[in-house]
């Protein structure tokens, strides 16, 4: 039993515990800057511990826990996302002044939970990590507990999350009944070569449960409400970290445990992908609140990512991995810009972004770049991500799905461009330009550079994604 | 007259199962939330009985201790902390309630039909009745030590969050 | 070093990024970043050239957009004699122009912006030179066009400058569009866009002859746009609205040479199509004489030089079309130096007089002796007078053309015209008595040094291709011992013609007088008008744009409004309507969401089991 | 193979599975039909019990016997307890703001 494999998660949990203890016993020392420093240091330390593990596959805890290229890829993505979210959370932490330590600690614990989830290769471990992450998110969504909207978001997330895990659990129970196993690879070993109706029922329930995590239609309905109501940094965190881990576990379960039903799950995922991207884009067209619009946009993005999973090949997986990296950078750039913009104007209405270009050119530029990347315009990250995913799908014969995807991208350009149009073309009211807090500015710069870098140097990052995807299929 | 063991088991199972389902249905029908809570207790306790019959004695104990002992108390506290008109409103709008019932029925039909038609390879005629407590205890600290440890952190998360969200300030 | 030749291009990119990132706040930092980066680049280019001369060749590419199957795009660079030569030309001329700009642009409001754009331009041009595939070249090609737009429009508050920038951009777009089509066309037939791959495919006959001709002609269209060949030459004279160092660097020495470079680079392909070669040679020869005639009557000193550039680029195209790639590049090489020198001298007198009109200058020999002597040497070189650099390359082209009587005649006439308009410039500007008012301010040293330095290559670089030293440049470029086609008769003839042109200029404008020229103009009034109005080409384009294009546009607009708009609007309206109804489902009721969730789960289960229920699996 | 009801006795795996499905569905009906958030929480507990019955049934009847299903059920109970605490905390917070725990009143976020 190699506890060392868990070190990166232990560091985060330890830092969270340290924060709570510091706040309880030496409140004078627990200043925001110090706490953020500790948190980011723990993230960095965790990443440093992880990187050397990328080369080899190691399992521990009776095969319940795995560290390989695939998990390291996702964990580094999660750590980077958490790091950037923390950088951009200054305003949020000001607003929850009396519970700063708990806020940061919960984010760290949620990250640890997602990292455990990514590494879980056994159903019980998977379930309990998932619940730990879900409960953290429910709290974080409700963290502005004096705000009607935040607490409503928390309630909705909590209830639907509980239901989704119930369905997931039912699917796991059936899978356990069929195979008598909870280890993913043992499940695959015990499955008959042809799927039975019971297995398909289980697969459907599992997909529904995971569909909730990744916001696939029709399991996505919590997404816009929670994204709108939750504190914006938490929304940013949910939209990237939770989603990335959700996709990681979908891929892990489908690939490792259910290869015998591959033909069936490919059909189901393709169906989900088609519905998800279409509904996401079409409803995004008529949104007036930027966070809601971005929520529907993330739903649409989940649809594109599902296209890559539906391809069912190594190439599709690599494309999904790359897509998630591109998506993380892009969405974080967008949300970080939105945090700052809406914080200044005290409004999340898209109409109030008018003339932003004059007031804060850098913010407007960052938001415009991220939106164009989401729309999939070259040479930004989103463009290459879409190319890779669509190409993999074409190679698997899913031409109809790719055509739908391209049509959807065209539709999406409309609402993304609308925001840019408002920012650049519509004169806005005068407001004194203010300076963003340095950490937030840094987060914004890093993400925008990422959006360009992942695009222009896509082949380099795609190479990493391919290597990570290969470790899974071995 | 010797009543066959099988019959005893069957009688117990049906009794507990009926009580569990009746409790669950009554939970929905009850107009008073405190009554709902009591029916929930009935369902949970009956489920514990089913566990015993299915050979899960340790689990039955856990069910009674945690569910009936802890969760029910928690729910009752919750009910008392949110005083309101406990009688009304009861069900959702008819449309919501009926469509909900239809979907629930569909879930039942689909899962029951699938599970009943399936071939469960190598199932025993009757549940094994070895003592499970020790086995489960050992496996919790060997095979499943990781989820066990994660569960402890999960409780930490629940504790921090609940304190922060539910406290007055 | 040649393994890492990309550093040469990366340096100015780094300086551009640094300026953009913050160095722009300091004018001094912006300028010196640019100069140092290009200076280092020039040094490295020299090393690369030395290595390549020693036999080094580099070919590197990486998959930029790796897709499985037959597709996927790669980017890369290569180093061979042609690249190495061009690297040296671009970096050295660019370096001197940047130093010159230090003084010339002093006090300009957009000083940092100017140097940032210059850095970006140099990067793009170097990237273009290093490219190893048509696709890579195209990317930098577009970037070069963008920089040209930025630099021509540097003084964007002047309407002429803004209009000229737009004109340059739009006119070259026509060529670029054809170029892109050509790349796609060649890719379609050869399955690759790498130069080596294309050459192999063409050599192995894997590209059908007709396809190769069409593809190469489309590629040539791109070169026509960028190198301002007839009939897309109209943008270059207008581009003189940019600052003079810009004109020197990008509209004389480097960027416009990109078209010639492209044709030189693809000449192994071109050689497989006699038709394409003939077209290239014909367009080049015609442009040479055509532009030279317009240079005879222009009054704006920079415009004369611009026409001269167009004409000389025509020469180079002519050489490449005749299969004398090395001669064309040799001329490009020489031309880069003496034309940059001419422009910088022009900049020097413009700086002094604050006007471009030569009829408001005169007698500047005393105030700007260095510029006078430099101009004279460069003009003699341009006219092809022995033994200056232009003589050797021009004679090689003439010798190559001697088999084609028509082209040879055009080239020879051009020599005469070239000598005439160049000495017209010298007589009007530097000799005679002053006709305008000079703002007496001393020339900054930073402007004088590049002039002095550039005189040297204007005299000497011809020796690199001189027959008596064995034509080292030609051998280097051709990759085999090339003997210069030197024909004493042709040399004597062209020199005589050039001297005749100079004498003719003397007869018309000698000593700064203008009356004989005016008399001649009156005598041949229609011809003169034709030239002054630039063969009415701009009018023609204007008319075309206004009548034909706008007419077609009007019709297209009707169709667009009536049909396409309707379709787009309908789809949009349908999408919005669908969004509206889906939005109503999003009622805010958590139980509705839960309902949808379970309905979805059941649906998935039914869909999954459907084939089994139907018995198809 | 068409689904068929198990014999009245002896009690088999199918009996347990049927009970599990029934509890799961009745709980679901409660979730979808009740308004009071706390009652919905109770209904979720019923659903989880349905799953647990399924787990225990499998664990009891599968051959060779594997107790993993029971262990899984232990964890489900543990998580259910934590979930109840979390849910009640959020419900109390929403009650403090709105003086109601009806979920259909929480529809400020929509569209």
* Closest CA relative to residue A161, chosen from A76, A225, A101: A225
When CB atoms are compared, the residue of C65, C572, C588 closest to A384 is: C65
Q: Which range is least confidently modeled, A77-86, A365-374, C373-382, C458-467?
A: C458-467
Q: Which residue has the higher pLDDT, A362 or B20?
A: B20
* Closest CA relative to residue C90, chosen from C30, C5, C14: C5
Q: Any idea which residue has 């008109």 for tokens?
A: B85
Nearest-neighbour CA in chain C from A281: distance (Å): 8
When CB atoms are compared, the residue of D31, D94, D109 closest to A228 is: D109
CB contact under 8 A, A207 and C582: no
Contacting residues for D2 by C-beta, under 8 A, at least 6 apart: B117
Give contacts of D64 with chain A, Cβ < 8 Å: 180
Is the Cβ–Cβ distance between D46 and B24 less than 8 Å?
A: yes
| Alpha-carbon span A4 to A10, nearest angstrom | 9
For every residue of A378-443, DSSP letters joined together read TTSHHHHHHHHHHHHHHHTT-HHHHHHHHHHHHHHHHHHHHHHHHHHHS--------PPPHHHHHH
pLDDT value, residue C542:
72
| Alpha-carbon span A151 to A157, nearest angstrom | 10
Is the Cβ–Cβ distance between A337 and A367 less than 8 Å?
A: yes
The arithmetic mean of pLDDT across residues C10-32, rounded, is 82
D107 in any annotated domain:
no
Q: Which range is least confidently modeled, A40-44, A297-301, C226-230, D8-12?
A: D8-12
Q: Is B140 on the interface with A (CB under 8 A)?
A: no
Q: What is the ipTM of this complex?
A: 0.95
D4 in any annotated domain:
no
- Return the top range by mean pLDDT from A328-332, C104-108, C518-522, C563-567: A328-332
Indicate the length of chain D as a whole number: 111
Q: Which helix (H) or strand (E) holds C454?
A: helix C445-460
* Closest CA relative to residue C362, chosen from C437, C294, C254: C437
CA distances from C305 to C178, C365, D51 (A): 28, 19, 87
Confidence category of residue A240, pLDDT binned at 50, 70, 90: very high
Query: What percent of chain B shows pLDDT beyond 90?
Result: 51
CB contact under 8 A, C582 and A264: no
Q: What is the CATH number of the domain that holds D39?
A: 1.10.287.3510
| Alpha-carbon span B27 to B90, nearest angstrom | 11
Strands (DSSP E) contained in A72-204 are: none
Radius of gyration of chain C (CA): 28
Residue C102 structure tokens: 């230090």
pLDDT value, residue C454:
82
Instruction: Specify whether the backbone of A433 is left (phi greater than 0), alpha (psi in -120 to 50) or beta.
Output: beta
Tens digit of pLDDT for each residue in C131-168? 888 888 888 888 888 888 888 888 877 888 878 887 88
Q: Give the CB-side neighbour count of residue C273, counting CA atoms within 13 A.
A: 24
For every residue of B45-56, DSSP letters joined together read HHHHHHHHHTT-
| Alpha-carbon span C258 to C173, nearest angstrom | 15
CA distances from C436 to A121, C303, C357, C361, C515 (A): 88, 19, 10, 5, 18
Strands (DSSP E) contained in A105-240 are: none
Is the Cβ–Cβ distance between C293 and C530 less than 8 Å?
A: no
Tens digit of pLDDT for each residue in C286-335? 898 888 888 888 788 888 888 888 889 998 998 898 888 888 888 888 88
| Alpha-carbon span A156 to C575, nearest angstrom | 28
pLDDT value, residue C177:
86
CA distances from A9 to A42, A52, A79 (A): 10, 15, 11
Query: What percent of chain B shows pLDDT beyond 70?
Result: 91
Confidence category of residue C23, pLDDT binned at 50, 70, 90: low
3-class SS of residue C269: helix
In this structure, which long-range contacts are made by residues B90-93, counting pairs with CB atoms below 8 Å and at least 24 apart in sequence?
A: B90/B31, B90/D34, B90/D35, B91/B28, B91/D33, B91/D34, B91/D35, B92/C591, B92/D32, B92/D33, B92/D34, B92/D35, B92/D104
When CB atoms are compared, the residue of D28, D32, D107 closest to C588 is: D107
Whether D1 shows a pLDDT value over 60: the answer reads no
DSSP state of C252: I
The arithmetic mean of pLDDT across residues B143-168, rounded, is 92
Give me the helices (H) in A1-99, please.
7-25, 32-50, 69-87, 90-95
| Alpha-carbon span C279 to D82, nearest angstrom | 82
D105 in any annotated domain:
no
Confidence category of residue C171, pLDDT binned at 50, 70, 90: confident
Tens digit of pLDDT for each residue in B2-19? 777 788 888 999 999 999
| Alpha-carbon span C313 to C492, nearest angstrom | 23
Q: Which range is least confidently modeled, C85-89, C461-465, C568-572?
A: C568-572
D33 in any annotated domain:
yes
Q: Is D49 on the interface with A (CB under 8 A)?
A: no
Average pLDDT of the residues of chain A: 91
Contacting residues for A254 by C-beta, under 8 A, at least 6 apart: A262, A265, A269, A309
When CB atoms are compared, the residue of A106, A154, A178 closest to B160 is: A106
| Alpha-carbon span A219 to A161, nearest angstrom | 10
D3 in any annotated domain:
no
Query: What percent of chain A shows pLDDT beyond 70?
Result: 98
pLDDT value, residue B49:
94
* Closest CA relative to residue B89, chosen from D94, C593, D34: D34
Give contacts of C68 with chain A, Cβ < 8 Å: 315, 391, 395
Can you name the residues that pair with A59 across neighbouring β-strands? A66
Tens digit of pLDDT for each residue in B101-115? 999 999 999 999 999
Whether A307 shows a pLDDT value over 90: the answer reads yes
Rounded to the nearest 10 degrees, how much is the dihedral formed by the CA atoms of C229, C231, C235, C240? 50
Confidence category of residue A251, pLDDT binned at 50, 70, 90: very high
pLDDT value, residue C273:
86
| Alpha-carbon span C210 to C213, nearest angstrom | 5
Nearest-neighbour CA in chain C from A7: distance (Å): 36
Strand A58-60 and strand A65-67: pairing?
A: antiparallel
Indicate the length of chain C as a whole number: 617
Rounded to the nearest 10 degrees, how much is the dihedral formed by the CA atoms of C217, C223, C224, C229? -130
Residue D110 structure tokens: 């929509």
Query: What percent of chain C shows pLDDT beyond 90?
Result: 4
3-class SS of residue A66: strand
Residues of C (565-584) whose Cβ lies below 8 Å from A = 572, 575-576, 578-580, 582-583
Give contacts of C585 with chain A, Cβ < 8 Å: 221
Whether C70 shows a pLDDT value over 60: the answer reads no
Is the Cβ–Cβ distance between A172 and A127 less than 8 Å?
A: yes
D49 in any annotated domain:
yes
Is the Cβ–Cβ distance between A270 and A310 less than 8 Å?
A: yes
Confidence category of residue A320, pLDDT binned at 50, 70, 90: very high
- C-alpha angle C403-C408-C413 in degrees, rounded to nearest 5: 165
Q: Any idea which residue has 């009557």 for tokens?
A: C297
A177 CB-contact burial (10 Å; exposed 0-12 / middle 13-18 / buried 19+): buried
CB contact under 8 A, A197 and B117: yes
Average pLDDT of the residues of chain B: 88
3-class SS of residue C73: strand
| Alpha-carbon span C430 to C420, nearest angstrom | 15
CATH topology of domain B1-83: 1.20.120
Maximum distance among all Cα pairs of chain D, rounded to whole angstroms? 54
| Alpha-carbon span A79 to A100, nearest angstrom | 20
Contacting residues for C163 by C-beta, under 8 A, at least 6 apart: C238
Give contacts of A159 with chain D, Cβ < 8 Å: 31, 37, 40, 44, 87, 103
Whether A84 shows a pLDDT value over 70: the answer reads yes
When CB atoms are compared, the residue of C598, C605, C609 closest to B103 is: C598
pLDDT value, residue C416:
87
Q: Any idea which residue has 């799953």 for tokens?
A: D51
Whether A91 shows a pLDDT value over 80: the answer reads yes
- Does the N-terminal peptide bond of residue D64 adopt cis geometry, omega within 30 degrees of 0? yes
Q: Where are the domains of chain B?
A: 1-83, 133-169
D81 in any annotated domain:
yes
Strand C58-65 and strand A58-60: pairing?
A: unpaired
Spell C449-474 as b/e; 16+ CB within 10 A means b.
ebbebbbebbbebbebbbbeeebbbb
Confidence category of residue A272, pLDDT binned at 50, 70, 90: very high
Whether C561 shows a pLDDT value over 70: the answer reads no
Tens digit of pLDDT for each residue in C374-417? 888 888 888 888 778 888 888 888 888 888 888 888 888 888 88
pLDDT value, residue A200:
93
| Alpha-carbon span A323 to A300, nearest angstrom | 13
Residue C414 structure tokens: 């051009």
pLDDT value, residue C191:
78
Computed from CA positions of residues C69, C71, C76, C79, in that sequence, does the dihedral angle turn out positive or negative?
positive
pLDDT value, residue A50:
93
Task: Give the number of domains in chain D.
Answer: 1
Q: Give the CB-side neighbour count of residue A40, counting CA atoms within 13 A.
A: 14
Is the Cβ–Cβ distance between D85 and C562 less than 8 Å?
A: no
Per the structure, the complete domain to which residue D84 belongs is given by 13-98
Average pLDDT of the residues of chain C: 82
Computed from CA positions of residues C258, C264, C269, C270, in that sequence, does the dihedral angle turn out positive or negative?
positive
The arithmetic mean of pLDDT across residues A122-147, rounded, is 95
Spell A67-87 as b/e; 16+ CB within 10 A means b.
bbbbbbbbbbbbbbbbbbbbb
CB contact under 8 A, B107 and D3: no
């Amino acid at each position: 039993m190699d506890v060392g494999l868990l070190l990166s998660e232990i560091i985060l949990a330890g830092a969270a515990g340290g924060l709570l203890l510091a706040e309880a016993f030496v409140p004078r020392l627990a200043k925001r800057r110090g706490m953020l420093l500790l948190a980011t240091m723990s993230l960095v330390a965790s990443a440093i511990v992880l990187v050397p593990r990328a080369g080899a596959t190691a399992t521990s805890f009776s095969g319940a826990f795995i560290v390989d290229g695939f998990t390291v890829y996702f964990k580094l993505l999660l750590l980077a996302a958490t790091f950037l979210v923390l950088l951009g959370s200054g305003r949020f932490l000001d607003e929850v002044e009396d519970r700063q330590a708990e806020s940061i600690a919960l984010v760290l614990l949620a990250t640890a939970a997602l990292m455990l989830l990514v590494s879980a290769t056994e159903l019980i471990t998977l379930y309990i990590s998932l619940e730990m992450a879900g409960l953290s998110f429910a709290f974080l969504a409700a963290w502005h507990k004096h705000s009607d909207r935040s607490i409503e978001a928390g309630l909705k997330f909590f209830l639907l999350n509980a239901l989704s895990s119930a369905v997931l659990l039912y699917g796991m129970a059936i899978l356990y009944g069929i195979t008598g196993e909870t280890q993913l690879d043992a499940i695959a070993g015990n499955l008959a070569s042809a799927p039975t109706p019971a297995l398909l029922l289980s697969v459907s329930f599992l997909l529904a449960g995971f569909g909730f995590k990744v916001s696939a239609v029709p399991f996505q309905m919590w997404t816009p409400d929670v994204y709108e109501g939750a504190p914006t940094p938490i929304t940013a965190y949910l939209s990237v970290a939770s989603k990335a881990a959700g996709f990681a576990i979908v891929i892990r379960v489908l690939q490792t445990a259910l290869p015998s039903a591959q033909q069936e799950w490919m059909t189901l995922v393709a169906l989900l992908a088609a519905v998800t991207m279409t509904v996401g884009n079409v409803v995004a067209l008529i949104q007036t609140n930027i966070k809601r619009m971005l929520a529907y946009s993330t739903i649409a993005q989940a649809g594109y990512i599902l296209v890559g999973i539906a391809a069912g090949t190594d190439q599709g997986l690599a494309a999904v991995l790359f897509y998630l990296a591109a998506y993380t950078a892009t969405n974080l750039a967008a949300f970080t810009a939105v945090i700052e913009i809406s914080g200044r104007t005290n409004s999340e209405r898209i109409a109030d972004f008018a003339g932003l270009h004059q007031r804060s050119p850098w913010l407007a530029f960052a938001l415009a770049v991220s939106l164009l990347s989401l729309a999939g315009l070259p040479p930004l990250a989103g463009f290459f991500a879409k190319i890779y995913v669509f190409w993999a799908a074409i190679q698997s014969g899913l031409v109809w799905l790719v055509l739908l995807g391209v049509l959807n991208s065209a539709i999406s350009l409309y609402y993304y461009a609308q925001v840019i149009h408002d920012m650049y073309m519509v004169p806005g009211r005068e407001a004194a330009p203010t300076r963003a807090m340095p950490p937030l500015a840094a987060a914004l710069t890093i993400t925008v550079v990422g959006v360009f870098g992942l695009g222009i140097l896509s082949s380099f990052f795609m190479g990493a994604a391919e290597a990570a995807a290969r470790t899974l299929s071995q | 007259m010797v009543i066959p063991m099988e019959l005893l088991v069957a009688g117990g199972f049906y009794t507990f199962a009926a009580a569990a389902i009746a409790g669950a249905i009554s939970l929905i029908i009850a107009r008073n939330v405190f009554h709902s809570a009591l029916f929930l207790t009935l369902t949970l306790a009956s489920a514990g009985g089913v566990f015993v019959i299915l050979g899960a004695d340790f689990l039955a104990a856990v069910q009674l201790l945690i569910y009936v002992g802890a969760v029910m108390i928690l729910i009752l506290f919750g009910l008392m902390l949110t005083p309101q008109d406990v009688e009304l409103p009861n069900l959702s709008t008819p449309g919501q309630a009926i469509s909900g019932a239809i979907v629930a029925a569909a879930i039942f039909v689909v899962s029951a039909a699938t599970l009943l038609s399936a071939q469960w390879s190598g199932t025993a005629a009757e549940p094994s009745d070895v003592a499970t407590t020790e086995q489960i205890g050992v496996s919790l600290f060997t095979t499943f030590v990781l989820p066990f440890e994660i569960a402890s952190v999960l409780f930490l998360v629940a504790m921090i969050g609940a304190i922060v969200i539910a406290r007055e300030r | 070093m040649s393994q890492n030749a990309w550093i040469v291009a990366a340096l100015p990119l780094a300086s551009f990024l640094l300026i953009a990132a913050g160095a722009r706040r300091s004018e001094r930092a912006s300028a010196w970043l640019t100069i140092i980066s290009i200076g280092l680049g020039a040094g490295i280019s020299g090393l690369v050239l030395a290595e390549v001369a020693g036999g080094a060749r580099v070919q590197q590419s990486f998959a930029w957009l790796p897709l499985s199957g037959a597709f996927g795009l790669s980017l890369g660079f290569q180093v061979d004699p042609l690249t190495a030569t061009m690297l040296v030309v671009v970096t050295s001329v660019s370096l001197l122009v940047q130093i010159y700009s230090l003084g010339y642009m002093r006090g300009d409001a957009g000083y940092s912006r100017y140097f940032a754009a210059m850095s970006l331009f140099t990067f793009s041009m170097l990237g273009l030179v290093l490219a190893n595939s048509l696709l890579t070249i195209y990317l930098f090609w577009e970037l070069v066009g963008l920089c040209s737009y930025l630099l021509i429009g540097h003084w964007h508050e002047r309407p002429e400058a803004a209009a000229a920038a737009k004109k340059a951009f739009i006119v070259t777009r026509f060529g670029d569009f054809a170029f892109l089509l050509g790349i796609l066309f060649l890719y379609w037939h050869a399955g690759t866009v790498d130069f080596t791959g294309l050459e192999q495919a063409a050599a192995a006959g894997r590209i059908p002859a007709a396809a190769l001709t069409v593809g190469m002609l489309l590629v040539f269209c791109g070169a026509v746009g960028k190198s301002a060949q007839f009939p897309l030459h109209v943008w270059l004279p207008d581009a003189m609205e940019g600052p003079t160092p810009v004109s020197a660097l990008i509209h004389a020495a480097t960027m416009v040479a990109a078209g010639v470079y492209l044709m030189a680079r693809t000449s192994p392909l071109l050689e497989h199509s006699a038709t394409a070669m003939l077209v290239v040679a014909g367009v080049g020869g015609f442009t040479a004489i055509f532009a030279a005639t317009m240079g005879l009557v222009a009054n704006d000193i920079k415009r004369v030089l611009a026409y001269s550039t167009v004409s000389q680029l025509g020469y180079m195209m002519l050489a490449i079309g005749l299969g004398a790639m090395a001669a064309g590049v040799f001329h490009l090489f020489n031309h880069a130096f003496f034309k940059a020198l001419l422009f910088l001298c022009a900049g020097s007198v413009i700086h002094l007089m604050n006007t471009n009109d030569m009829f408001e200058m005169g007698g500047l020999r005393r105030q700007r002796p260095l510029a006078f002597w430099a101009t004279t040497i460069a003009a003699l070189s341009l006219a092809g007078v022995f033994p200056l650099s232009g003589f050797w390359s021009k004679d090689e082209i003439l010798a190559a053309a001697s088999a084609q009587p028509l082209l040879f005649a055009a080239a020879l006439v051009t020599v005469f015209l070239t000598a005439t308009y160049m000495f017209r410039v010298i007589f009007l500007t530097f000799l005679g008595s002053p006709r305008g008012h000079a703002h007496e301010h001393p020339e900054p040293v930073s402007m004088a040094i590049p002039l002095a330095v550039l005189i040297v290559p204007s005299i000497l670089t011809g020796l690199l291709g001189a027959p008596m030293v064995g034509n080292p440049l030609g051998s280097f470029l051709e990759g085999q011992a090339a003997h210069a086609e030197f024909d004493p008769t042709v040399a004597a003839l062209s020199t005589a013609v050039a001297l005749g042109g100079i004498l003719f200029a003397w007869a018309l404008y000698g000593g700064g007088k203008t009356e004989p020229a005016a008399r001649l103009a009156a005598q041949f009034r229609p011809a003169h008008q034709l030239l002054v109005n630039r063969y009415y080409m701009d009018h023609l384009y204007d008319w075309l744009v206004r009548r034909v294009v706008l007419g077609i546009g009007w019709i297209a607009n009707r169709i667009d409004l009536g049909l396409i708009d309707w379709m787009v609007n309908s789809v949009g309206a349908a999408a919005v309507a669908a969004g509206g109804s889906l939005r109503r489902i999003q009622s805010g009721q958590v139980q509705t969401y839960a309902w949808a969730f379970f309905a979805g789960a059941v649906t998935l289960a039914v869909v999954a089991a459907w084939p089994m229920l139907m018995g198809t699996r | 193979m068409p689904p068929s009801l198990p014999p009245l006795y002896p009690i088999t795996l199918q009996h347990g599975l049927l009970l599990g499905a029934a509890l799961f569905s009745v709980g679901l009906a409660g979730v979808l039909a009740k308004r009071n958030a706390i009652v919905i929480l109770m209904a979720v507990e019923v659903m989880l019990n349905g799953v647990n019955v399924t787990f225990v049934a499998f664990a009891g009847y599968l051959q060779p016997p594997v107790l993993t299903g029971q262990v899984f059920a232990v964890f489900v109970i543990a998580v259910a307890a934590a979930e109840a605490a979390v849910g009640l905390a959020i419900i109390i917070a929403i009650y403090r703001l709105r003086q109601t725990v009806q979920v259909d009143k929480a529809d400020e976020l929509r569209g």
